[in-house]
Amino acid sequence: MKYARLTKEQLEELHQEFITFLASQSITADEWEDIKKNTPNVAEDEIDVFSDLVWEGVLNKVAFLEHFSKDQIHLFRLGEDQMYMIALKVNDPEIDLTTTSGYNWLRDNLMEDTVLFFNAKKAYNEDRNLDKFKLIQEGAQITKGKLFDYIDGLIQLKKA
């Protein structure tokens, strides 16, 4: 298994897609019930293959990720050949960016000296989607990139 098995809830949400997946392998509903009952290891393997296919499809489409911690935000734009990162660090132990009040404080004080900006870019390793998946496993959330674009615009203005 390349990524991670989908949870029971995720599999339930993708029930119809899983049926289509089984059908593409010429496995009928009755055969699937028999496989689950008599060869559970084969059933587990099928779920693993399906999970990897789902993850691969999702990861192919992911363009932005965000990761929040108490005093830092990491924003990622996932390009074709490399990823771009913008990091914000708040040097005030009273501020917790994972809370609404901390995020609001950052919004109101973004240009203060206690907020540091960093940016970097990095080529992917051998497998671009695996690099994306690792970030998600570490707590990054898939987003539409609005915060990345906003902060990137501020950094560009600051440079000008």
Q: Given this model, what pLDDT does residue 25 score?
A: 86
pTM: 0.85
CA–CA distance from 68 to each of 1, 87, 134 (Å)?
28, 10, 15
Summarised one tens digit per residue, pLDDT across range 39-59 is 999 999 999 999 999 999 999
Name all contacts of 126-135 with Cβ < 8 Å and 24+ positions apart: 128/78, 129/55, 129/56, 129/59, 129/60, 130/2, 130/3, 131/83, 132/59, 132/62, 132/65, 132/78, 133/3, 133/4, 133/55, 133/59, 135/65, 135/67, 135/76
Q: Give the C-alpha separation, 91 to 73, whole Å.
A: 12
Compute the CA torsion angle 118, 124, 125, 131 (nearest 10 deg): 80
pLDDT confidence of 157, banded at 50, 70, 90? low
Average pLDDT over residues 14-39: 92
Average pLDDT over residues 29-42: 92
Summarised one tens digit per residue, pLDDT across range 112-130 is 889 999 999 999 998 999 9
